[in-house]
Amino acid sequence: MEPLLDVAALEERRAGGLRTVLLDVRWALGDPLGHEHYLQGHLPGAVFVDLATELADPAVPERGRHPLPSPLKFQDAARRWGINNGDIVVAYDDSANMAAARVWWMLRNAGLTGVYLLDGGLAAWREAGLPLEQGEVLPRPGDVTLGDGQMPVLDAAAVTAWVEHGPVPAGPQPDRVLLDARAGERYRGEVEPVDPRAGHIPGAVSAPTAQNVGTDGRFLPPDELRRRFEALGITDDVEVGVYCGSGVTAAHEVAALELAGFRAALYPGSFSEWSSNPLLPVATGPGSHGGDGPVEWKHHGAQG
């Protein structure tokens, strides 16, 4: 299903009085003021979604920085946002949908089909000269019934099997590719602001999420996205997995892959989970389709 709705289509729904649940997922790494930003101005009727408390359980090393909440806890949150069965839901943020993609993926995984990302997010709405409103929106609770398991997922054991066995069959065209959606400098291990070790999962290919969008924050056209992912070794016959730091921006990569015509599995624990386990290897350096940089086997917390 198409993951995007543009501003014109959303405004047409709004002008026509069609029921649409708007979710504002204002969050960014290092910026704890998402709710304050929301209160200062948001799409009319939009409900604030707190990524840290409503889209994740508390951080624990064995599950990463943003573990997925239980299906029941997530259903309770979705009802607080006013979602009913059969509703159309549109999520957005002010960072090219890097955070909003988390709730898009979670609702899709829970079985909701009518869920979209507002292409370009808040910036596109402002650019169109459309109104904002201030203050909190507290909707009437919804009655949506959510499930689980509708999107492909990888856990650490599955990723470990990919790492241990490599592409199958071995050769220039693998039949599975693991994408690292973080910035290139974090992939290479040059910097690591939050996780226990620097580097990447051995065998992963660097595919920064920021390259899924243009300078306007909108997703690139599907044909451009397809060419991008094909250049990284992905074809219709390749099994694709995606991770990031904590499973948030990797959901954006899943959406971009879907636009390009590829289905991808998300590793929710991502590098924050992986790098917290001292028994799992971490590679550094630029990597390539044919190999990676040196693999680090240091214990968690070890220096140099």
C-alpha to C-alpha distances, 127 to 21, 48, 132, 168, nearest whole angstrom: 21, 21, 12, 47
Beta pairing class for 282-283 and 295-296? antiparallel
Selected catalytic residue, list 55, 89, 201, 244: 244
* Residues 153 and 62: beta-carbon distance below 8 Å: no
In angstroms, the CA 63 to CA 5 distance is 32
Share in percent of the chain as helix, strand, coil (round to 5) = 30, 15, 55
Q: Is 244 a catalytic residue?
A: yes
Which residues are annotated as catalytic? Answer: 244
